[in-house]
Structure 1
Amino acid sequence: MAAVGTLSRFVRLSSFVGKSRRLIFNRIQRRGIASCIDPSLGLTDEQKEFQKVAFDFAANEMAPHMAEWDEKEIFPVECMRKAAQLGFGGIYTQPEVGGSGLSRLDTSVIFEALSTGCVSTTAYISIHNMCNWMIDTFGNTEQRERYCPDLCTMDKLASYCLTEPGAGSDAASLLTTAQLKGDHYVLNGSKAFISGGGDTDVYVVMCRTGGKGAKGISCVVVEKGTPGLGFGKKEKKVGWNSQPTRAVIFEDCAVPVTNRLGAEGQGFSIAMKGLNGGRINIASCSLGAAHACVQLARDHLCVRKQFGEPLSSNQFLQFKLAEMATKLVASRLLVREAAHALQENRPDAVALCSMAKLFATDECFTICNQALQMHGGYGYLKDYAVQQFVRDIRVHQILEGTNEVMRLIIARDLLMDS
């Protein structure tokens, strides 16, 4: 029933009007989506409605501003709050605290569609959703009611704080400490590469309350404005420029014990469970970029002429386009299978989430990069959207666990019983 209620809200709020100046949607809307790469294939009628709303929002509210947000490094808070009115601020958060209560597959479908309008902004929304879900899932009633409703509307924004300057892939070695003093934890240390850092309101922080290793890590929620909470300089990045990235610094930052999610020592498990979904989310964002780039490449081949013939008549380029489309569909199928596995809490879920993240982010970057190559010199101009898709999804092979770490997780799963 929750999904049906959310569906009617999606449909009711989906009448957006706007003129897209972005080349991608002008072309896509004229030519349509080739049936062999149609992302709606296999979806239920309800999922197709969610997807349509997300595509419309991407075309009308995101794509016209994508280049400007990138160039001027604008964090489009008001646009994201419009997205939250459609249920995109808490897609898989429970309805009783303001969420949409949708499945992991529904979530993947939505993020893929939104990313066709702006990968960077959608990727931040996906991180925000992950934080919201972590509080909803591991928080107590008071914590859920305190934080989740404002996160679902995106009146408040969230950041995920795991990575440190000396603890990236080896997250269990993190050094940020949380010393218990009375009814507060006193945090000291720093987090690196935090999406939204400094501009967001709620920080879901992994910190060390016990001894070495994963069992000594706990999870606490730190609110912006807490004394001792500070931020580094805004990082200059290759892509993902519509979301700020800063270090988050704790200097004798006192946080109430009541802000801890779960029990002491449960933090690493909470972090990893959040990342399983985060890996599907970020892979879905890569799918959206690749889907847009396949269509951009197809349309460019049809209109660009060389040696008196359209590029679409060149068999080498036809083969390349076919390979791109095949990689896109294969990536999408794997991501959606991983989403099913995570939703059902299957024993293969962790490995499949890792496979999906590894395969989709690698292959989708290859697709986008090939689309840029097909555009020739035009692809390197910022007037063309393809270069921004390339820049924005390159980091997906690094974050939410590097693709090297994904290989380790998959190999360990294969060798576990050997």
Structure 2
Amino acid sequence: MPQHGPQPVERELPTEEAHDLLALVRDLVQREIKPKAGEEEAAERFPRDVFSLLSRSGLLGLPYEEEYGGGEQPYAVYLQVLEELAAARLTVGLGTSVHALACYGLAHFGSKEQRAEHLPAMLGGELLGAYCLSEPSSGSDAASLRTRAVRDGDDWVLHGTKAWITHAGVADFYTVMARTGEEGPRGITAFLVPGDAEGLSAAPPERKMGLKGSPTGQLHLDGVRVPDTCRIGDEGQGFTIALASLDSGRLGMAACAIGIAQAALDEALAYAEGRAQFGRPISDFQGLRFMLADMATQIEAGRALYLSAARRHDTGRPYSQQAAMAKLFCTDAAMRVTTDAVQVLGGYGYTADFDVERYMREAKVLQIVEGTNQIQRMVIARRLLGPETAR
């Protein structure tokens, strides 16, 4: 007899090591994250203990080199781990992706000496990172940022305000983009700033409609001094580093989106098979069956798309366009799937007694972070058609 209802996702894993890794993640999720996710989110509790556990388990540095404390896993494996974490609690899945984003610049553009000095602690030392590009007046137009770094001998002194920073105030290090030269993208440089740096402070977290366990806020840099050895890459290379980091981060958001969409589908399936109306389970009604079929199809299509982009990354092929497509499609799909899951549960879906209302609120932010979906469409269109005609 065929099995009905929610089933474990069949994963595309290349090695026995990857299978063991995913088994570890699923066990950790069931024991440490999923049982208290709803309660913790409602209480707006940041799960620092969970991130420390992930670090000790080797899960915060999966896509980075073993030499520096990473797991050296392909992105096609790392993203499936993110999906599992996000399905259990988006605060954890998204936070893990943001941490990897914060490490990306140093791991790929830092000197060998910088990587040796900083990466082991960042990847496996129970530290947590944040990525600082957006500002109050520059979100989608990131190249117009105003935070400035001024050279003072062997140091740099940073002044400015960053906005919408995940882990603001709780991170141990920040990858900060600041202006060191001319206006526009060529005048931006990347810096590694310790979380306890003098002059660094965080504003109270934003009051958000979802993802309430993950602090998001402004970060103020008031004369923060860092040595030149904390400059990542060359002067003026910061915007290139930022865009390369975002390509990888967009794949993380795509995987997280499919994670919460899968969680919403699983809850909708279980409810539909257990709820009876008019003398039979509501899963017998064609209108609802077709809705569930569409939800499952969108999830499978999204998963295939982000894995296809990940394989391009893993084989060294260009993947910027595919990352934008995956982020666009998967996050839009998550919004549709979670909305439909609420509809399947009817009035119960609109209450906080069931997780689907939380999934729906959380899905919305994934269409906004790391480049709005309108920006993703611009990226894709420029790859297809070239830049817009100047007026």
Task: State the TM-score bracket (shorter-chain normalisation).
Answer: over 0.9
Q: Which residue pairs with 1:412 in the alignment? A: 382
Indicate if the aligned counterparts of 2:350 and 2:357 stay in contact, CA closer than 8 A. yes
Q: Name the counterpart of 1:168.
A: 139
Q: Does 1:132 align with 2:103?
A: yes
Is 2:35 the counterpart of 1:61? no
* 1:329 pairs with one of 292, 297, 300: 300
2:289 corresponds to which of 302, 318, 325: 318
**2:324–2:380: 8 Å Cα contact kept in structure 1?**
yes
C-alpha distance after superposition, 1:346-400 (max 9, x if no partner): 23x1100000000000012211110111111111222211111112221000001
- The aligned amino acid for 2:7 is I
> Which residue is 2:116 aligned to?
145
User: How far apart are residue 147 of structure 1 and its match?
Assistant: 2.1
- Give the counterpart of 1:401 among 365, 371, 374: 371
The residue number in structure 2 matching 1:364 is 334
Percent identical residues: 36
Q: 1:9-158, aligned counterparts within 5 Å?
A: 33=7, 38-40=9-11, 44-158=15-129
Displacement after TM superposition at 1:142 (Å)? 2.9
Residues 417 and 207 (structure 1 numbering): CA distance in 2 closer, same or farther, change over 3 Å? closer
Q: Which amino acid aligns with 1:195?
A: T
TM-score normalised by L of structure 1: 0.89
**Helix, strand or coil for the counterpart of 2:219?**
strand
Q: Distance in 1 between matches of 2:54 and 2:213?
A: 15
1:299 matches 2:270: yes
Letter in 1 for 2:253: I
State the match for 1:351 in structure 2.
Answer: 321
Deviations 1:197-250, CA, capped at 9 Å, x for gaps: 111110100000010111100000111222221211121111111211120111
Matched, 1:235 2:224: no
CA RMSD of aligned residues (A): 1.8
Which residue type is aligned with residue 332 of structure 1?
R
Give the residue type in structure 2 aligned to 1:202: F
Q: 1:341 aligns with which of 302, 312, 320?
A: 312
Q: Distance in 2 between matches of 1:416 and 1:366?
A: 30
Q: Encode CA deviations 1:230-271: one digit per residue, 9 max, x unaligned.
A: 211121111111211120111122121110000001100111
Tell me the CA shift for residue 145 of structure 1. 2.4
The one-letter code of the counterpart of 1:366 is R
Range 379-388 or range 160-169, more displaced: 379-388
C-alpha distance in 2 between matches for 1:102 and 1:140: 22
TM-score, structure 2 normalization = 0.95
Alignment of 1:160-239 (within 5 A): 160-239=131-210
Deviation, structure 1 residue 42: 6.8
1:156 to partner: Cα distance: 1.5
Gaps of 5+ in 1: 1-28
How many residues were matched structurally?
A: 386
Letter in 2 for 1:338: A
Deviations 1:91-119 (A, max 9, x none): 11111111101111111110011112101
Retained in 1: the 8 A contact 2:52–2:127? no
Provide the rounded CA distance (Å) in 2 between the counterparts of 1:153 and 1:391. 32
CA–CA separation in structure 2 for the residues paired with 1:359 and 1:297: 21
Q: What SS class does the counterpart of residue 190 from structure 1 fall into? A: strand
